[in-house]
Chains A and B, each alone.
Chain A
Amino acid sequence: MRAYLNTINNPWRVFDEVMGDFPFDLFDIALRTRARRYPRVNVWESEDGLAVQAEVAGVEPDKLDVAVDANILTIKGEREQADGSRAEFQRSFNLPFELENDKIKATIKNGLLTVKIPRKPIEKRKIAIEKL
């Protein structure tokens, strides 16, 4: 139930829902199969930037891709299943601010991915007002 309430209030949810996974949060955590297609995450935010931890058990580090395009963070990868077949997973977040996409720091340990990305500094520009 807590997860469901999360959906209504949380701006981080929006992107996933737009992607056509409406009851995402409600069922994702409960249903393991879906949880495996969309890795579960903890997202931390500060004035400096963003930190994300994601569950990616069974994924080789070179089969994992973390990318930021403007303000969309995407984590995708491929996991090998027990029968040898491959399963892809992907999850995107619409961020409320822009990030420095060339300063992504990602580490993986025991199937837990940690990503740290600094915020893009906001350019302040004064606009001169001309007299007519």
Chain B
Amino acid sequence: MSLTKKSDQQDVQKVDRVELTPASRVVECENAYTLTVELPGVSEKEIELTLENRVLSITAENTLEVFKDYTLVLHELPEARYRAAFDLPDHVDTAGIKAATKNGLLVLTLPKREEVKPRRIAVKAG
């Protein structure tokens, strides 16, 4: 019987990850903001999205392949932990936030609340 704690075994396998802020951009449309975050090498399971007090936090870890019987001769890609946090403005409808991944990008749609969307007001003849 082994008395080793499970957490101890996990510690051994842990990699020292470099903390990185991912490249990101926000585009404003009429009805929503689109927030795109570059997370190369990150599968959707490794992305953690949390919303707390109108702060949207993103944490993600990438997976790099280790080639057996090969030697690493040029090392630029680190085992990374990506972290980013965004203060959402009041007029974002947090309940309607949608997230999707595509080609290593995380695309978040942040819809605006109904009352701030542009709206036409019909003018009636008196």
B43 touching A44, Cβ below 8 Å: no
The interface bits of chain B over 45-87 (1 if a CB of A lies within 8 angstroms of the residue's CB, else 0) are: 0000000000000000010110101111111110000000000
Distance of A29 Cα from B23 Cα, bound (Å): 13
**A44 engages B70 (CB within 8 Å):** yes
Task: Select one of B42, B71, B77 contacting A110, CB under 8 A.
Answer: B42
Report, as a range, how many residues of chain A touch the other chain: 20 to 34
Contact of B104 among A29, A36, A46, A56 (CB under 8 A): A56
Given contacts A12-B74, A110-B39, A111-B104, 9 further A-B contacts (CB under 8 A): A51-B65, A53-B65, A55-B40, A57-B105, A83-B27, A109-B43, A110-B42, A111-B40, A111-B42
Find out whether the CB atom of A41 lies under 8 angstroms from the CB atom of B76.
yes
Q: Are B67 and A51 in contact (CB under 8 A)?
A: yes
Contact of A111 (CB < 8 Å), options: B27, B38, B67, B76: B38
Q: How far is the CA of A57 from the CA of B39 in the complex (A)?
A: 7
B31 at the A/B interface (Cβ < 8 Å)? no
For residue B94, CB closer than 8 A to chain A, the reply is: no
User: Is A128 an interface residue, CB under 8 A from the partner?
Assistant: no
In angstroms, Cα B34 to Cα A11, docked, is 42
The answer to whether A45 and B104 touch across the interface, beta carbons within 8 angstroms, is no
* Contact (Cβ within 8 A) A42 B104: no
Contact with B along A94-132 (1 / 0, CB 8 A): 000000000000001111101000000000000000000
What CA separation (Å) do A57 and B27 show in the bound complex?
18
Is there an interface contact between B74 and A41, defined as CB atoms closer than 8 Å?
Answer: yes
Q: Which residues of A contact B27 (CB under 8 A)?
A: 82-83
Determine which of B34, B64, B105 lies in contact with A42 in the assembled complex, contact meaning CB atoms within 8 Å: B64
